[in-house]
Structure 1
Amino acid sequence: MMNVDSQIRLKKEQEEKEHKKKEKAEAHLYTIIKIARDEDLKEQTGKDIYFDLVDHEKVRSFRIQKQLPFSTFKEEVAKEYGIPVQFQRFWLWAKRQNHTYRPNRPLNPHEEMQSVGQLREISNKAQNAELKLFLEVEFGLDLQPLPPPEKSKEDILLFFKLYNPEKEVLCFVGRLFVKALGKPSDILRKLTEMAGFTPDEEIELYEEIKFEPNVMCEHIDKKLTFRASQLEDGDIVCFQKSPKADSGTQVRYPDIPSFLEYVHNRQVVHFRSLEKPKDDEFCLELSKLHTYDDVVERVARQLGLDDPAKIRLTSHNCYSQQPKPQPIRYQGVEHLLDMLVHYNQTSDILYYEVLDIPLPELQFLKTLKVAFHHATKEEVVIHSIRLPKNSTIADVIIDLKTKVDLSSPTAELRVLEVFYHKIYKIFPLHEKIENINDQYWTLRAEEVPEEEKNPSQHDRLIHVYHFTKDPLQNQQIQNFGDPFFLAICEGETLAEVKGRIQRKLQVPDEEFSKWKFAFISMNRPDYLQDSDVVSARFQRRDVYGAWEQYLGLEHTDTAPKRAYTANQNRHTHEKPVRIYN
């Protein structure tokens, strides 16, 4: 039984759902009107926005029937804000060619007589567009509303923002009507009053022109007329105290253009260790225009590292939400923005590593992770081999021999390419390491068994893989565990080969008796009997490409699933793994 609270909640949710459904069905009958006021400009400037005047998503919106006369809507505004209809003047907004959005002109008396739907069509031809308006209200000294002043073509409505370089603060301080043929010098006293400065304070004026794709903010000559400075309705004038050469105060952004440039390009970046790619380690406020050197220097400073060249960065893939496979090369990008852009998306995440040698040196080296399988020991040891890029597999083996325990000083090593529990390649000793990819394939090093060193003319070297059949996928073969090579002699039966395999893998009799053996070609098993001659099935002598046919060992995969770098080549009985870097 549901309790009373649950019933009430369910009923409320159902009502909300019905209300939204009704709203959607009747959407074509209504217009959304968004009203921006001086209060919105004051509230948002310097907090939510710095450029233009207002974010229309954060202003009061009204859902009004399209047939409603605009004059009736004004009465609703009067109730909402306490501003009588006769003191309201509404301005249409317009998007300019430079992509800024400013109040363009007041509604005329004829337009105010029209319906809300007709007005929306005047302001915006796009279907279902909102009607955005600026509400101009003038107040007297007693803070009571006044009728809007007469506006002729000679009157220009300007909006003013004040900048404080010491506090790095920009705020909206008001608006004024000015005469087109008047000069900024005519309104200086009014501006100092708006800012709370002394009447004799020297101030500098700038016009905020645009901010995309780049900031454009130009100094205004106080001696020129507003018309000569090409100022018009809806323009924004930013002003500040005139910088004093002898002030002695150090500020980062001494004038409005430099501050707006900073705001436009600043970027908070979340840095994550490449080893823990899900967790933010720290955040830095940077500039999109910072160079590669600027960024790594800031990261090094954050980490208390003396040498920024030991920082390696990796960009973020916005689609996979993971680090990109390849790190950023040393000075491989010009600016921070280049590091953050992924196709048409911009990320705010970078991954970092602290290297043991400077990145410029490391870039001439190649690091390979090689999983060494000892001839007799159970443990797989993963070694990082770092060599010059023009080195060969022979050089890898020489380096590896200094790091591993061999069964004898004369033991020979080979390096294999393993992928999804199959051996795809024995690397020739002369192969260059520069183009070897150990990201997707596992490199495995092992001793060459004595029986493989001097094969007779009739011996075969065959691939041996573990497999099971997946009942959920139409009995499809699934390989698992540790693939290996086996030298077989001419005429050797399966019974003889089985004995050698059991000894090699050290499988107890009881378990081994359950195993089945098959010759597998092109993923089709042909099961063998103990009396079958194994070599008769393997006619191909070349090992490279021989993964297409192999001796399959069918048994249950009992290994616990453990993810690690070389996880494709796990033995059926899970070996412990040790990693050396």
Structure 2
Amino acid sequence: MTLMTPPPLDQEDEEMFAPHPDPVEGPQPMEMAAQPETASAVENPPVDEPQTSRFTWKIENFSRLNTKKHYSEVFVVGGFKWRVLIFPKGNNADYLSMYLDVADSAMLPYGWRRYAQFSLAVVNQVHGKFTIRKETQHQFNARESDWGFTSYMPLSELYDPTRGFIVNDTCVVEADVAIRGVIDYWTYDSKKETGYVGLKNQGATCYMNSLLQTLYHIPYFRKAVYHMPTTENDMPSGSIPLALQSLFYKLQYNDTSVSTKELTKSFGWDTYDSFTQHDVQELNRVLSEKLEDKMKGTVVEGTIQQLFEGHQMNYIECINVDVRSTRKESFYDLQLDVKGCRDVYASFDKYVEVEPLEGDNKYHAEEHGLQDAKKGVLFVDFPPVLQLHLKRFEYDFARDTMVKINDHYEFPLQLDLDKEDGKYLSPEADRSIRNLYTLHSVLVHSGGVHGGHYYAFIRPTLSNQWFKFEDERVTKEDTKKALEEQYGGEEELPHTNPGFNNTPFKFTKYSNAYMLLYIRESDKEKIICNVDEKDIAEHLRIRLKKEQEEKEHKRRYKAEAHLYTIIKVARDEDLVEQIGKDIYF
């Protein structure tokens, strides 16, 4: 057995992970003992950077293991003791079951917890590229001291001598474990931990917050907003450009979360509107239209079109005669079907799918009369910033109600819209432009059709580091969290009564991607540009710095208020003035 520092964790396709519930009678993967209530320390040392190690476990005489469950020897990562737990014949299922287990959970103090991101692998000893690796993360505690995969891989594949997973009756298991600090949300400082601050939720404005954070983190857009002409006499509550400038300035320079009240007031919203959840796509379009109108006649006129506008060609083409009708349309975002589509490419295939016009639905081709034809749409050009709205909501005619589509739907880190010789492009398209896009942000909706919660995963600089913007809180996240865990679909958990039947069951994941924003590779240097104070109007800098000083003064006054008391002295003449000269008591 070896313990070593590994290369970065591989990213795999969708994985199903399963915790083990509370123990019942009979053999279980989670071994628990009563926790001593006298201890009060919480095992949660501060961890800034994840401590990562790889443990390799060679299990000899694998086919002759006669125990229901089998533990590895203990290994240490980040000062914590771990071990791997496997069920070589399956945990009441025809699958190899494998978990990461806290080795000394019964000895730890009351209230202990630790957070780890980890992967478990069964090594293919013949062809390494066929090694099976599954990754997940979990906050371990006394009730959930092990976590992993009940249905890791079919036993038939594992024991098949031609597959290469068991060689000379030896199976090799690897565990990559990265220890991360447990977040204390009461004392968490987003600015200190990530360099970014969040937006305050007014009641039901999380959908707006996720959109505003996405737009703010398009530096070219932010710079254009700063360059919109405003004056020192304008009031933010009555001017959308000034309110947005103020909001962006505070997001850039504040140390704490920022309020959006001035912006919503500039929309003409009252308190009721702030407690009503609106649609992200609708807000995005309305905000873009208002800004586009306000930019007319200024140095930043046309910025919205330059960033977000693309064009598509609707066509009808006759089969038997040389007649083709076309109509060019612009778009600022694309609505893509989720239902019936596996991924973004399948949605684009469906978007450009050709519809036959035949039979009773023939096309009237003027002097040629009714003709068999084909109808469709192709793209003339795509914008530098591509906004894709995923149709997660639709009307169910059978149930006479709106429903949310939680189907599994994948989206790539890089999106190539020139694939297969540019099948999405119209004949009029400029083929010299390379339509290769990289994912910038993922807006997520968590909940159902009648309400829920919105948040966003964003790569501000298009680096490998993702950030989760969830109202006031900003946290660092990995690629798997931002992509694969937002695909939707189903997730696997073990049965709630494992002592009797531990057949895994699946539940629907109600948190999934709702809007995607991609930036074209050839334009990213221009779009991800530097924005500093010289881009901000002087009157705005002065106004906002004054606001910050006043806010700091009020904060200091409140902080020092307990040091002082107010004493009022009433003199004789004050009493006379208050109650007069005639006193009857």
Q: How high is the TM-score relative to the length of structure 1? A: 0.22
Structure with greater contact order relative to length (CA < 8 Å, sep ≥ 6): 2
Q: Which has the larger radius of gyration?
A: 1
